[in-house]
Amino acid sequence: MRVRVAFVDDSIVEIEIEGGYDDLDDLADALRKGGGTIACDAGGDPAPYAAALGSLIVESTEDDRVRFRADESSVRIVGGADPREELAELVEDLADGAYGTHVHVEWAPEHPLIGKGSIPAVLALPRPAGASVEP
């Protein structure tokens, strides 16, 4: 799994979480369990993002929405059980898709899943070099 971030004026303005089928299944499991740390590949060129981070952490709260947070070393996904379950289902749907598929998750007033103050995120199933379009 790889977690990358984009900055504007030293503030993180977007998160990308990309992983293969198994990585995304691990993320869905951590979301359902309400906790866990997933080690991420922080090496290599993070382009087009500014930096790659070393871990993805899922934390349980009593909140009715999910929020994506980040610091210089990790991304955190925090939220209550119901919104984490909804996000887990979205991640599983992505993992069931074709290589190259991605989904944007960010706050909007009418959005029932993502909470205000969340950093916009892109969840991606990248196409491995030489892979066909379908899994």
Which tens digits make up the pLDDT trace of 33-55? Answer: 999 999 999 998 999 999 999 99
Q: How confident is the model at residue 132 (pLDDT cuts 50, 70, 90)?
A: low
CB 89 within 8 A of CB 109: no
Q: In angstroms, rounded to a whole number, what is the distance separating the alpha carbons of residues 95 and 100? A: 11
pLDDT at 129: 62
Which tens digits make up the pLDDT trace of 92-130? Answer: 999 998 888 999 999 998 888 999 999 999 999 987 765
Among 114, 135, 134, 129, smallest CA distance to 69 is for 114
Q: CATH assignment of 2-121?
A: 3.30.1360
CB 20 within 8 A of CB 9: no
pTM: 0.90
Q: In angstroms, rounded to a whole number, what is the distance separating the alpha carbons of residues 59 and 93? A: 21
